[in-house]
Structure 1
Amino acid sequence: MATHFHKKPNTYVSHVQIKVSNLERSLEYYKNIIGFDVLEQTEKAAAFTTDGKTSILSIEQVDNALPLQRGQTGLYHFAILLPTRKDLGNFIQHISHLNVQIGAGDHHVSEAIYLYDPDGNGIEVYADRPEEQWIWNGNTVYMTTEPVNFRSLLNLADGHWNGLPKGTVMGHIHLSVSDLLKSEEFYTKALGFEVVTRYGSQALFISTGKYHHHIGLNTWESLGGSPSSEKSVGLKSYTLVLDNEEQAEKIKGHLKEMGHVVERFEGASKYGGHQEFSTIDPSGIRIVFTLDGE
């Protein structure tokens, strides 16, 4: 597995924070079905881990939460990257025993399983193919969606599922945005991402360091949409790791020049690092920036 895509100097997603309607129900789901361990838990929130030290996902209960509405901007899915193809085979074997409803896609660069948590938050669990097998045409990477070869994956499975393995990371986040052009300008000009794939005029995939994507952006269900209410389930924020202070200052400057608010953001280190500052993207999605990362 190529791990350098989720390390500095790349800008990558390290942590996702989700709002849920019932903490106990979501704890059970993320522990028993997805395979996380709990790093920390309070009355209204929990942080999940795979290595016992860092959290890549946290959930927070919103009382009397509003459900997700079609047409809103926010989370399309967050994507949990497993270290190996065998790990994906073991995950598939595990969820098949639980009769969980899934979707699947072979994207050539990766093989992916799709699920929804009890509140309808989208989740992808995937494994990358070796990067030498990815097909680049200049600065564009070939991605497609074809049926997953479940037999081939299950042939690798050994029946030893002990939850998400160490080395699991937050591979990427895919966002539902209201305006693709404004989003492209924001993520490339303000934050320094590069567009690596486009799906017509409705979706694009961006990365740093020639990954197939650290962030996906689409308007499939959210064109012209507004962000969901703070009282709704869904995405609360996601965290991007920056390389150094110089990059952080540069991004702050770009954000201010482009009219975006830059806020100081204090966060507990176990929630994905000591957070430095945050902003809101053009679709109303909160991004937290940290220098704490590998």
Structure 2
Amino acid sequence: MTATATLHEDVQIGLVQIRVSNLERSLAFYQNVVGLKVLRTNGSVAELTADGQQVLLVLREIEHARMQPRKGAGLYHFAILVPDRPSLGLVLRNLIDSEIEVGQGDHLVSEALYIQDPDNNGIELYRDRPRDTWKRDAQGDYIMTTDPVDVDGLLAASEGLTWNGLPAGTVIGHVHFHVGDLAQAKKFYVDALGFEPTTHYGNSALFISAGGYHHHMGLNIWAGQGAPATPDDAPGIDYFTLQLPDGREIAEVAERVRQAGYSVAEAADGVTLTDPWNIGIKLITIPQSN
């Protein structure tokens, strides 16, 4: 078998599963504030969607959750990508109506809003600028920054539109993690899994992607060099899915990760990997459109 060195250009982030301390409270937040809809619930687990078909977020309630005063390695935020600027304007209007704290950043490639759920799980809601406007520097990195968002422009773009929750076409655009060591994270996510670096922030953060996207994943050591994994009984991330075109691509990635010395678990619904900080990655095939 000839394994490719990088992930297939059509790779997409699928769903994200996170741990919460109170499912009822979180469901109210993710419906009313974020704008997702409940697709189904089963005991302590709920699946949320934007279009009524594709699961974007799974909430899993943990009993007697340990609330972490300090962030360990694990979830920094997961990022919900809306299809256009008017949609992000409507998101902003709803967040303002919700009277919660909202962070924001114009990253040149995108405009982003940042919030936290009741368990301090980080959430980004953003829209991309057209890909042909993204610029690279002399080293080939995408040029990104954190400028103030044009709030008035976002509100104007959504003037006269009605908020009905997140629209069809909304997806998980990327995930961003605290890690304990950037070199170790690069060894796993780039050298073994096959993402490609797209932006470096000194020695403190690395953005990586497949297919030329600005980033499918952010990795940082802002929780401290050597930060330990967030414990399983605290809110945080269980896993995210990586959608690949077919079983052959999944097999090639799994073999590459296995050859690099990491554990690989195979099941009927895909292949599961675990990063050095106990974050799960499920490799699945891209769902076929109806």
Q: Does 1:40 align with 2:40?
A: yes
The letter of the residue matching 1:86 is: P
4+ runs of 1 displaced by more than 6 Å? none
Structure 1 stretches lacking a partner, 5+ long: 1-7, 267-274
CA distance in structure 2 between the aligned counterparts of 1:117 and 1:147, rounded to whole angstroms: 22
**C-alpha deviation, 1:246, in angstroms:** 2.3
Structure 2 unaligned regions, length at least 5: 1-7
Cα distance in structure 2, aligned partners of 1:176 and 1:59: 20
Deviation sequence 1:194-222 (CA, Å, 0-9, x none):
10000010101001111100001001114
Bigger drift between 187-196 and 73-82 goes to 187-196
**Counterpart of 1:36 in structure 2: which amino acid?**
L
Aligned to 1:74: 74
Alignment root-mean-square deviation, CA: 1.4
State whether residues 13 and 243 of structure 2, in contact with CA within 8 Å, keep that contact through their aligned partners in structure 1.
yes
After superposition, residues 57-72 of structure 1 pair within 5 angstroms as 57-72=57-72
**1:288 and 2:282 are equivalent in the alignment:** yes
Cα distance, 1:249 vs. partner? Answer: 1.7
Matched, 1:55 2:55: yes
The answer as to whether partners of 2:246 and 2:286 remain within 8 angstroms in 1 is no
- Is this contact kept in 2: 1:172–1:214, CA < 8 A? yes
Structure-2 separation of matches of 1:11 and 1:183: 19
How many residue pairs are counted as aligned between the two chains? 279
> What do the CA deviations read for 1:150-194 (whole angstroms, capped 9, x no partner)?
011111113400000000000000011111011112111211111
Cα distance in 2 between the residues matched to 1:209 and 1:255? 19
Q: How far apart are the structure 1 equivalents of 2:238 and 2:263?
A: 17
Q: Which amino acid is 2:141 matched to? A: T
Secondary structure at 2:213's aligned position in 1? coil
Q: Deviations over 1:21-51 (max 9, x none)?
A: 0000000000000000100012211000111
CA contact (8 A) 1:103 1:113 kept: yes
Q: Is contact 1:71–1:222 with CA below 8 Å preserved after alignment?
A: no
Conserved 8 A contact 1:68-1:120: no
User: Is contact 2:71–2:230 with CA below 8 Å preserved after alignment?
Assistant: no
Q: What is the percentage of aligned positions where both structures have the same residue?
A: 40
**Comparing 242-251 and 169-178, the one that deviates more:** 242-251
What is residue 89 of structure 2 aligned with on the other side? 89
What aligned pairs does 1:121-136 form with structure 2 within 5 A after superposition? Answer: 121-136=121-136
TM-fit CA distance, 1:69: 4.2
Counterpart mapping for 1:202-241 below 5 A: 202-241=204-243
**Mapping of residues 1-294 of structure 1, within 5 Å:** 9-137=9-137, 139-157=140-158, 158-265=160-267, 275-293=269-287
Deviation (angstroms), 1:9: 4.4
Task: Give me the TM-score of the superposition, normalised by structure 2.
Answer: 0.93
SS in 2 for 1:185: helix
Range moving further from structure 2, 30-39 or 219-228: 219-228
How far, CA to CA, are the matches of 2:57 and 2:199 in structure 1? 26
In the alignment, the residues of structure 2 paired with residue 207 and residue 293 of structure 1 have an alpha-carbon distance, to the nearest angstrom, of: 20
Give the Cα separation in 1 of the matches to 2:245 and 2:213.
Answer: 16
Verify the 8 A CA contact 2:10 2:245 in the aligned structure 1.
Answer: yes
CA distance in 1, matches of 2:225, 2:280: 18
* SS of structure 2 residue aligned to 1:141: coil
1:189 & 1:244 partners in 2: Cα distance?
Answer: 21
Q: 1 CA distance for matches of 2:68 and 2:270? A: 29
Q: Secondary structure at the match of 1:155?
A: helix
Tell me the secondary structure at the aligned position of residue 184 of structure 2. Answer: helix
Q: Which deviations, in whole Å up to 9, do the C-alpha atoms of 1:225-270 show, x marking residues without a partner? A: 111222111111111112222222222222222211101245xxxx
Asked whether the equivalents of residues 9 and 212 of structure 2 are also in contact (C-alpha less than 8 Å), the reply is: no
